[in-house]
């Protein structure tokens, strides 16, 4: 038996989330690698699943947790053997396949990435999908030719998980980072991560003109909707905007003007189904390029029993940085 967060449906259709015990026989039959989970985390998608605010879960009952890190204890997959240290991000885990907010998980070996040398499971989950996504965005900016001397980089939703790690990564690479947040009280925190300037998200969150004053050489946006549209409208000629989130909304009430008059590039960044080689590349950079002291500043650790109560907070924007879950306490 092992402890897990289990989601079910109440008679009225609402989501029922409980901390309970499961038997290993209840783990998915289509998994070929069983891991002892050491740490997990709560992402925005996990918050949606646990609270039932959005139809994230498509198979019931479900263990949430799109991230996990731990040790292989049983494997029929050729790439993995007992004792291997691994990371799981995405692949529909916590949505259609039981996830990692539990002490055990049975996963497909093709989904796993080897834990980089020198990185602990706790550090991997302090990074999690949010930090891995931030690295995918940062890599995309660099691959599109956005250089540190090209101008400022805007990071929206900067005090959240993706935003916090993006600020730390990009400032570490020598970029001038401007952090947009709805929590101006977090100015000192964001500056400690490397932000050169902190601006109020209100300046970006309402409808604006199709073309605005050119400000940004690049953008990392985890917010969507009007915030993303205004960021695009303010991007310099030939600049690049990476989009990876929808905290404000899924809509894109935009004009083609920035694309056809300024040559702005909008790059979609997906972390859930990203190819294995891209994942490995991102984790190698995270192990090498992310400042450990900055990551620790971003991180809060909680117990598995705290998860259900904290999930609504991440949706309300009340969580700064990353929540790491020690599933064994």
| pLDDT at res. 189 | 95
Residues 95 and 192 in one domain: no
Would 282 be classed as within a structural domain? no
d(CA 287, CA 305): 29
| CA-closest candidate to residue 59, choices 6, 4, 3 | 6
Residues 95 and 174 in one domain: no
Residues 148 and 263 in one domain: yes
Residues 313 and 186 in one domain: no
d(CA 2, CA 6): 12
Residues 150 and 254 in one domain: yes
Tell me the pTM.
0.93
Residue tagged 């038997």 (tokens) = 23
| pLDDT at res. 63 | 98
Would 252 be classed as within a structural domain? yes
Would 84 be classed as within a structural domain? yes
Residues 165 and 86 in one domain: no
Residues 17 and 88 in one domain: yes
Residues 147 and 31 in one domain: no
Would 120 be classed as within a structural domain? no
Whether a cis peptide bond, with omega within 30° of 0, leads into 255 is no
Residue 232's CATH number: 3.40.50.720
DSSP secondary structure letter of residue 116: P
Q: Is residue 112 within 8 Å of 86, Cβ to Cβ?
A: yes
Q: Digits of tens for pLDDT over the chain (329 positions)?
A: 999 999 999 999 899 999 999 999 999 999 999 999 999 999 989 999 999 998 899 999 999 999 999 999 999 999 999 999 999 999 999 999 999 999 999 999 999 999 999 999 999 999 999 999 999 999 999 999 999 999 999 999 999 999 999 999 999 999 999 999 998 999 999 999 999 999 999 999 999 999 999 999 999 999 999 999 999 999 999 999 999 999 999 999 999 999 999 999 999 999 999 999 999 999 999 999 999 999 999 999 999 999 999 999 998 888 888 999 999 98
Residue 108's CATH number: 3.90.180.10
| pLDDT at res. 145 | 97
DSSP secondary structure letter of residue 174: T
Would 188 be classed as within a structural domain? yes
Residues 160 and 239 in one domain: yes
Q: Provide the domain count of the chain.
A: 2
| pLDDT at res. 54 | 86
Residues 9 and 46 in one domain: yes
| pLDDT at res. 320 | 87
| pLDDT at res. 183 | 87
Residue range(s) defining the domain that contains residue 17? 2-115+291-326
Residues 70 and 148 in one domain: no
Residues 237 and 297 in one domain: no
What is the tally of helices (H) and strands (E) in the chain?
9, 15
């Amino acid at each position: 038996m092992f402890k897990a967060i289990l989601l079910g449906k109440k008679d009225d259709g609402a989501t029922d989330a409980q901390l309970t015990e499961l038997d290993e026989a209840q783990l998915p039959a289509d998994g070929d690698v069983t891991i002892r989970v050491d740490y997990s985390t709560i992402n925005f998608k996990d918050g949606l699943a646990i609270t039932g605010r959005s139809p994230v879960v498509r198979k019931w009952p479900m263990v949430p947790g799109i991230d996990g890190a731990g040790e292989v204890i049983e494997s029929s997959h050729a790439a993995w053997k007992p004792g291997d240290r691994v990371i799981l991000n995405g692949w529909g885990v916590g949505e259609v396949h039981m996830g990692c907010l539990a002490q055990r998980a049975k996963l497909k070996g093709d989904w796993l990435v080897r834990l980089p040398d020198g990185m602990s499971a706790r550090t991997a989950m302090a990074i999690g999908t949010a930090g891995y996504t931030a690295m995918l965005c940062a890599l995309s900016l660099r691959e599109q030719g956005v250089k540190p001397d090209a101008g400022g980089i805007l990071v929206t939703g900067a005090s959240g998980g993706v935003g916090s790690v993006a600020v730390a990564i990009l400032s570490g690479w020598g970029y001038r980072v401007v952090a947009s947040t709805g929590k101006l009280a977090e100015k000192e925190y964001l500056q400690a991560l490397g932000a050169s300037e902190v601006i109020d998200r209100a300046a970006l969150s309402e409808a604006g003109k199709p073309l605005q004053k050119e400000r940004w050489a690049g953008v990392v946006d985890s917010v969507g909707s009007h915030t993303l549209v205004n960021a695009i409208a303010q991007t310099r000629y030939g600049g690049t905007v990476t989009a990876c989130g929808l905290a404000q909304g899924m809509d894109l009430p935009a004009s083609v003007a920035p694309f056809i008059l300024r040559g702005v590039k909008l790059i979609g960044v997906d972390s859930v189904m990203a190819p294995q080689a891209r994942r490995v590349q991102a984790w190698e950079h995270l192990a090498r390029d992310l400042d450990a002291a900055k990551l620790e500043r971003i991180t809060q650790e909680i117990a598995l029993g705290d998860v259900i109560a904290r999930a609504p907070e991440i949706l309300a924007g009340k969580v700064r940085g990353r929540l790491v879950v020690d599933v064994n306490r």
